[in-house]
Amino acid sequence: MNRKIVLSVITAVSAALFSFQSCSKPPSGSGKIIFTANGEDFVRQGFLERKGWKITFDHVYLNIANPVAYNSGTLKAELKGDFIVDLAKGDEKAEPIVVGVLDKVKEGNYQSLKFGLKRAENGEYKGYSIVMIGKARKNSEVRDFIIKLDEEIVFDGKEGYVGDEVKGMLPKGKETTVEMTFHFDHIFGDKSAPANDHVNSGSVGFDYFNAFVKNGKVDVSQKELVNTMEYKKLLGAIATLGHLGEGHCHVLEMTSSSMMK
């Protein structure tokens, strides 16, 4: 039986992988909101995880569902549908991925952002919401990996975008960008951070997935991880992926394979 748990913490790619459709009814106005997704340098450039594995990504697919830019008043602009993005697309200097655009939006403050991750309904990775494909290197060891997660989550960031540039303020007749940011070091850890930093103490690290290596390759799905000792830690790490820049999002809903039949 499916169950939902509430936690206080915690473009588009080829149709051969996934498919989606969208429709939207934004507020009547003259502005434009550009919805973007960003994996930051951790995804675009790679990083050393907590135990010294060099992680690089070829693809990081997310199935983003129904992102909504809003404020505490009556303004709300929703991009309805499922949108498959590859956060690793482009070179190291690539801009955040454009998820979708809403036109004719009323001017105002849209600094709050709610967005979901859901399992893809079609394509090669049907049944998964997050798919990470890349390589891990440590000393003479090299691991190709594909890690497939099926977590369905609704993130809600209410404190506004935290970063160098203010995002979400829409003047009349102009445009603004809102950004869904994902911090994948929360899953793997970060060697450059102190060992007791939350990004390391709350992460599972690559060795957690490397335990499933076979013929030099790691190919593992979340259902295979359910009975591992650190599975709850993995869920906690996944629940902290969603941000507004550097600002943390709350998790409104979360359903994992451990809650499925």
DSSP 183-248: -THHHH--TTS-TTSHHHHT---HHHHHTTEETTEEEEEHHHHTTSTTHHHHHHHHTT-EEEBTEE
Distance CA 141, CA 129 (A): 29
Residues in contact with 241: Cβ distance below 8 Å, sequence separation at least 6, in sequence order? 153, 155, 182, 183, 184, 186, 187
Residues in contact with 84: Cβ distance below 8 Å, sequence separation at least 6, in sequence order? 12, 13, 17, 18, 19, 20, 61, 62, 63, 64, 120, 123
Q: What six digits make up the tokens of 149?
A: 């997660």
Residues in contact with 54: Cβ distance below 8 Å, sequence separation at least 6, in sequence order? 46, 47, 48, 136, 137, 138
pLDDT at 27: 62
pLDDT at 164: 75
pLDDT at 166: 81
pLDDT at 18: 37
pLDDT at 4: 39
pLDDT at 210: 97
pLDDT at 15: 33
- Regions in the chain scoring below 50 on pLDDT: 1-24, 261
Residue that has been written with the tokens 């399992």 in this structure: 119
Phi first, then psi, for residue 236 (nearest 5°) are: -65, -40
Residue 249 structural domain = 5-259
Q: What is the model's pTM?
A: 0.86
Number of domains in the chain: 1
Alpha helices of the chain — where are they, by DSSP H?
40-44, 185-188, 198-201, 206-210, 222-225, 231-238
Q: What are the DSSP E strand ranges found in the chain?
A: 5-7, 22-23, 31-38, 47-48, 54-70, 76-78, 80-86, 97-105, 108-109, 112-117, 130-138, 141-149, 152-157, 169-170, 175-182, 213-214, 217-221, 242-244, 247-248, 250-255
pLDDT at 247: 85
